[in-house]
Structure 1
Amino acid sequence: MSPLTYPPKPRPGDRVAVLSPSAGLPAIFPEVHELGLRRLRDTFGLIPVEYPTTRIMGADPADRARDVTAAFADPSIAAVLATIGGDDQITVLPHLDDAVLRANPKPFFGFSDNTNLLNHLYGLGLVGYHGGSVMVHLGRAGGLHPATADSLRAALFDSDWYELRPSVDWTDEPGDWRDHDVLAGPPRMFPGEGWTWAGPERLVEGTLWGGNLEILSWLAQADRIGPTAGLAGCVFLIETSEELPPDVEVYRILRNLGERGLLAGFPAVLVGRAKAWHHERPLAGPEKRAYVTAQRAAVTRALAEYAPDAVVVFDLDVGHTDPQLILPYGGTVRVDGTTRRVHARY
């Protein structure tokens, strides 16, 4: 496969589009959204530009796609950031103008349901950025986590290699946005315990592909994933959402991707720290540990059956937990099982 195109990077002072290709939650939680916009301006020196559907909940998929296309087409816009995820971005993709996106490459930042658009850009030969949504991590109560801020700054403005490192602390228990006092202080944090490595001690360098596991399952069902042969040699990224999928479902999704022939082609797998708590399902300590253990066992079982020679790294801060490190979707990553280091080329 030919290397994908890294879009030109923005610079401080540039205008960036802030869109809601998935859920229009800025309409429901404007304080959180405004905080994220403020951080874009004050911390990163970027000028956020909203589009017609950015603050509309339940906007028509065609209208959301029109905003995405317009943001890419506008020569005054240097990057595109999603406000948050959702669950129906897959319905937006057919309405995109691919010729416009391909002719006007821009860095796109998003995760979760934005796996749809990241995978779509991948199919167009463009590198995107997994992470960096405006409301979740830019709008974090108590300030951006230092690891998030450092990674996002590098992904936005730099084009060199960046080393991902285990965070000294983390959380999967953010404040409830329905609580008006939630933005007053930082979330409860837990001490970091590093990464867990499995598989052979060797160096793998390849193109990153994957994303949120539940969304990948939907994409596979809708036949929106490219040919298996075209993904061979990629470093596979997976992480799970606040919906807390059961371990049996995680195994089945990976098993089915394995039956498709995908897993056997991945020489390395990056597994995000499993989110094990949600406001609607606040697991206590022992339950949380049991959930995380079961998740890891499900991933381990599937990879042992379909990708036994892959280098595997568990518990990276690359998904729905906090902090969040940015990964170049379609870009190059280096996974070194000998030195146990991970680098991404931004």
Structure 2
Amino acid sequence: MEHGMIRPPQLKAGDTVGITAPASCGDREGILRASAVLERLGLKVRIGETLSLKHGYLAGEDEVRAAELNAMFADDEIRAVFCARGGYGSGRIAPLLDYEAIRANPKIFWGYSDITFLHAAIGRRAGLITFHGAMLVCLAEGEPHPVTLEGFGQLFEPKLLRVGREDAPLAALVGGTAYGRLAGGNLTLLASTLGTPYEIDTRGRIVLLEDIGEEPYRLDRMLNQLQQAGKLSAAAGFLIGDFRDCGPVKRRESFTAAEVIAHYIRAAGRPALSGLPIGHSVPHFAVPLGALLKVDGDEGTAQWLEPGVRP
């Protein structure tokens, strides 16, 4: 393992897991129904108070949301922390988290979208492998897709994940082979980390990108910012996830989202696969951020070389 990278312990039947809302407030009743999915996996669920709180568009004040997340990491009975939903607000609590305590009490941390900011912060400050996976609000929308459910299996035993063209319509934006630890997530949130103490580190990393509801010119702006900050050229390779509802609305004359992404990724010249069902998609392929993987643009495969959890 690279110095500082920590794999959390795997889950087992009977373990207690916590559900917290570090960003926006959500549908408490829907999330409670969705928690039954975790219970079917043999887990005991503890619901955080933030699921009942509202402070503008946030699930309680910053200090309250941060305190609950800190408390869940410090509680020896809680073996994993699942985020209820994204929305907005994760970045506001990053300065309030106890990264030394998180590092000393490594456990599974799971979420995506706005939670990307916390993935970047925890990965950089605590060195913990975290999980980019479907949140409880996603599981509340009906019976989850089998592939989405299958993603939770990697939390119960060390698994070497693999995705290929037989699993998804993958396309190579750039051929070749790259090795590196996975970093990234939601493009909007990655751009928002720049210039902060939690700035995404892409050096020698395979960078995951996904987003939702951003017009092509906005994607262009954010990718241009990452490019000029040296974040794209520093990467070893790229995984391009789902860019849902990212068509032009305001501007009649426009590139497509795919054209914008291809422009910047090809300019970076690093092996890159697009078309992965990662992000605001159904199904949602869950992946361990910080774990080592190989991307083969020629074969059209992404193969993890180490699991996200330890026995």
Same fold (TM over 0.5): yes
> Which of these residues, 256, 259, 272, is aligned with residue 228 of structure 2?
259
Matches of residues 23-172 of structure 1 in structure 2 within 5 Å? 23-27=24-28, 30=29, 32-42=30-40, 44-58=41-55, 59-123=60-124, 124-136=126-138, 138-141=139-142, 143-154=143-154, 156-165=155-164
Q: Does 1:235 align with 2:206?
A: yes
Question: How many Å separate the matches in 2 of 1:105 and 1:238?
Answer: 25
Question: Which secondary structure does the structure 1 equivalent of 2:88 belong to?
Answer: coil
Question: How many corresponding residue pairs?
Answer: 298
Tell me how large the CA RMSD over aligned residues is: 2.3
Q: Is the Cα contact below 8 Å between 1:82 and 1:110 reproduced in 2?
A: yes
Match for residue 210 of structure 1 among 148, 164, 184: 184
| Deviation per residue, 1:163-186 (Å, 9 max, x gap) | 124687xxxxxxxxxxxxxxxxxx
Look up the equivalent residue of 1:273 and give its one-letter code: D
The alpha-carbon distance between structure 1 residues 206 and 3, as it changes in their structure 2 partners (threshold 3 A), is farther
Q: Which residue of 2 aligns with 1:15?
A: 16
Change (3 A) 1:33 1:293: farther
Map of 1:324-343 to 2, 5 A cutoff? 324-343=284-303
Q: Is the 8 A contact 1:22 1:86 kept in 2?
A: yes
- Report what 2:259 is aligned to: 297
Amino acid at match of 2:24: A
The separation in 2 between residues aligned to 1:51 and 1:263, in whole angstroms, is: 37
Using a 3 Å threshold, how does the CA distance of structure 1 residues 19 and 4 change in structure 2: closer, same or farther?
same
Query: What is the CA distance between 1:40 and its match in structure 2?
Result: 0.8
C-alpha deviation, 1:221, in angstroms: 5.0
Alpha-carbon separation, structure 2, partners of 1:38 and 1:21: 21
Rounded Cα–Cα distance in structure 2 between residues aligned with 1:73 and 1:304? 43
Structure 1 position 293, deviation (Å): 7.3
* Cα distance in structure 2, aligned partners of 1:150 and 1:217: 30
C-alpha change, 1:312 and 1:13, in structure 2 (3 Å) is: same
Q: Is the 8 A contact 1:166 1:317 kept in 2?
A: no
How many percent of aligned residue pairs carry the same amino acid? 24
Match of 1:179 in 2: none
TM-score (norm 1): 0.80
> Where do 4+ consecutive residues of structure 1 move more than 4 Å?
165-168, 290-293
Contact kept, 8 Å, 1:251 with 1:301, in 2: the verdict is no
Partner-residue secondary structure (3-state), 1:225: coil
Distance 1:304 1:167 in 2: 24
Which among 314, 329, 334 is matched to residue 274 of structure 2? 314
The CA distance in 1 between the partners of 2:49 and 2:191, in whole Å, is 30
- Residues 132-190 of structure 1: CA deviation (Å, up to 9, x unaligned): 31121x2231x110111112222x1121201124687xxxxxxxxxxxxxxxxxxxxxx
Q: Give the alignment's TM-score, normalised by structure 2.
A: 0.89
Q: Deviations over 1:245-282 (max 9, x none)?
A: 111111121111111111111121111121128xxxxx
Task: Please give the alpha-carbon distance, in whole angstroms, between the structure 2 residues aligned to 1:248 and 1:53.
Answer: 35
The partner residue of 2:283 within 323, 331, 334 is 323
1:321 positional shift: 1.0
Letter in 2 for 1:41: E
Partner residue of 1:269? 238
- Equivalent position SS for 2:35: helix
Please, which runs of 5 or more residues in structure 1 have no aligned partner? 169-191, 278-282
1 CA distance for matches of 2:110 and 2:72? 13
1:55 positional shift = 2.4
- The C-alpha deviation readout for 1:98-147, integer Å capped at 9, x for no partner, is 221111011100000100111111011110000131121x2231x11011
- Is the CA contact 1:166–1:316 (under 8 Å) kept in the aligned structure 2? no
Verify the 8 A CA contact 2:171 2:300 in the aligned structure 1.
no
3-state SS of the aligned residue for 2:272?
Answer: strand
Is 1:197 the counterpart of 2:197 in the alignment?
A: no
Name whichever of 54-63 and 109-118 sits farther off. Answer: 54-63
1:222 Cα deviation from its structure 2 partner:
4.0
Counterpart CA distance in 2 for 1:303 and 1:165 is 20
